[in-house]
């Protein structure tokens, strides 16, 4: 695998000028930083590894120390995450990408706000070209696997195994 990935810092000078206060207020705004690789597919693969997407969206990723073939990656996990929002499931991103255009994918990653633990605020800050790279990697892998279960709403009982992530209450 080609590992000649370079980080290109386009807006470092601009960031330095904006100062701390403004950069906090615009934490989710793209900074101009992006990843390049031998191909967009390679860059997308890299982004999904270092961006943590496999941690939640690839079954067995954590258990095997990341030893999951590309063919099985990012097909979702059917163990839910439970909190005040209900129970959510890391989606099958291969099917999601297969069902939408690249431009719609880019717009979704840039603007969507949704339930935890999906870190939408992180993706909202992704460079457009990086979003395209992730999409092209997912499309290169192609559709595979099943749709994950529908999320349940607040207070509804879980229909599958789940991981509770509501903070524990302090003892009185
Ligand atoms: C901590 C776990 C976690 C991590 C890390 C994570 N996700 Fe998710 N993701 C989820 C969950 C859970 C959902 C479903 C949220 C819901 O139903 O509201 C989701 C949903 C999504 C969706 C919506 C899919 C659809 O069909 O609606 C996209 C796109 C997505 N994630 C992309 C990514 C990408 C790209 C990364 C890596 C940069 C990533 N996720 C990292 C847990 C995670």
Q: Omega of the bond prior to 124 within 30 degrees of 0, cis?
A: no
Q: pLDDT tens-digit profile of 12-26?
A: 333 333 343 444 445
Please name the residues in contact with 169: beta carbons below 8 A apart, sequence gap of 6 or more: none
How many angstroms separate the alpha carbon of residue 74 from the centre of ligand 1? 10
How many angstroms separate the alpha carbon of residue 81 from the centre of ligand 1? 11
Q: Is residue 128 part of a domain?
A: yes
Pocket of ligand 1 (CB under 6 A): 51-53, 55-57, 81, 88-91, 93, 96, 114-115, 117-119, 123, 134, 151
Tokens of 98: 């297969």
Q: What predicted TM-score, i.e. pTM, was given to this entire model? A: 0.86
- What is the number of domains present in the chain? 1
Q: Is residue 168 part of a domain?
A: no
Residue 139, domain extent:
6-77+92-149
Which contacts (CB < 8 Å, 24+ apart) does range 98-103 have? 98/138, 98/139, 98/142, 98/143, 102/132, 102/135, 102/136
Q: pLDDT tens-digit profile of 127-163?
A: 999 999 999 999 999 999 999 999 999 989 888 999 9
Q: pLDDT tens-digit profile of 66-120?
A: 999 999 999 999 999 999 999 999 999 999 999 999 999 999 999 999 999 999 9
């Amino acid at each position: 695998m080609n590992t000649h990935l370079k980080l290109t810092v386009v807006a470092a000078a601009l960031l330095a000028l904006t100062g701390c206060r403004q950069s906090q207020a615009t934490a989710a705004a793209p900074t101009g930083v992006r990843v390049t690789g031998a191909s967009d597919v390679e860059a997308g693969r890299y982004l999904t590894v270092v961006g943590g997407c496999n941690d939640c969206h690839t079954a067995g990723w954590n258990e095997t120390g990341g030893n999951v073939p590309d063919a099985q990656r990012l097909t979702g996990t059917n163990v839910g995450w439970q909190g005040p929002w209900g129970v959510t499931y890391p989606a099958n991103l291969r099917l999601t990408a297969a069902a939408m255009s690249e431009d719609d994918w880019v717009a979704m990653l840039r603007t969507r706000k949704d339930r935890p633990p999906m870190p939408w605020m992180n993706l909202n800050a992704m460079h457009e070209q990086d979003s395209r790279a992730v999409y092209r990697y997912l499309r290169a892998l192609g559709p595979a696997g099943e749709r994950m279960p529908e999320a349940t709403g607040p207070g509804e009982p879980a229909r599958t195994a789940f991981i509770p992530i509501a903070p524990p209450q302090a003892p009185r």
